[in-house]
Structure 1
């Protein structure tokens, strides 16, 4: 029995949010905040600039939640949805969008927004809104 793409997205989003829900409170709150803010950033600034924001916030620290979210989005777009070739790896989304064509960029941006919709909902459910 196969799943719809929306079911696959939801399952992936829930798995990733539940991983974060096990972390200490300040990390969970940071993650929830990024899930909440990133869709608006993407709509206003585009996927590339929004991913650059996550990477700049992380400052090469893979333990920061901005990097964690970037890595999750990369894994979904490259390894699961295969919008870009596997050679970019599970955290190479930024390089992929810089080297890829416009069509792939538009598909990736749309897909990230769809995934973030689920991540935001599950973050609200399992982590809670920032500041609450």
Structure 2
């Protein structure tokens, strides 16, 4: 008989981060992705979530298949569902939301980046700029 598997939110977040990092580890831009992931939490703390998301989007140049775009998409997909309970573009949701949701989204993204950072350090080699 198969038992129901209950997972904590932290376990679900770790699983999501593991899958997302695995999906980019063999890309030509993986080392650049690693560099961005390591800097992202500091960027959020210094500039704010909205500014950081806008930065990632501007560097992605409309493509989600590069280092900046991939990280933006990963953050957006998880946080839109977890904080705003819907699919959507996280930057748009952040701009339309209230201060309480903004703080929740910031904490959620920082927590997610903790997992992404750990798995990135384990799975992706350092680049020259590190």
8 Å contact kept, 1:123–1:129: no
Q: 1:7 pairs with 4, 11, 18, which one?
A: 11
Cross-structure match for 2:48: 46
Deviating runs (4+, > 6 A) in structure 1? none
Question: Structure 1 length as normaliser, TM-score?
Answer: 0.89
Q: Distance in 2 between matches of 1:106 and 1:130?
A: 32
Deviations 1:14-65 (A, max 9, x none): 10000001212xx001111111000000011110000011011112122221
Structure 2 counterparts to residues 51-66 of structure 1, below 5 A: 51-66=53-68
**Residue ranges of structure 2 left out of the alignment (5+ in a row):** none
**Residue ranges of structure 1 left out of the alignment (5+ in a row):** none
Q: Distance in 2 between matches of 1:35 and 1:85?
A: 25
Question: Structure 2 length as normaliser, TM-score?
Answer: 0.90
Deviations 1:62-109 (A, max 9, x none): 222101110110100113x1x1142x52xx000000000111110110
Structure exhibiting the larger radius of gyration computed from Cα positions: 2
Structure 2 counterparts to residues 41-120 of structure 1, below 5 A: 41-79=43-81, 81=82, 83-86=83-86, 88-89=87-88, 92-120=89-117
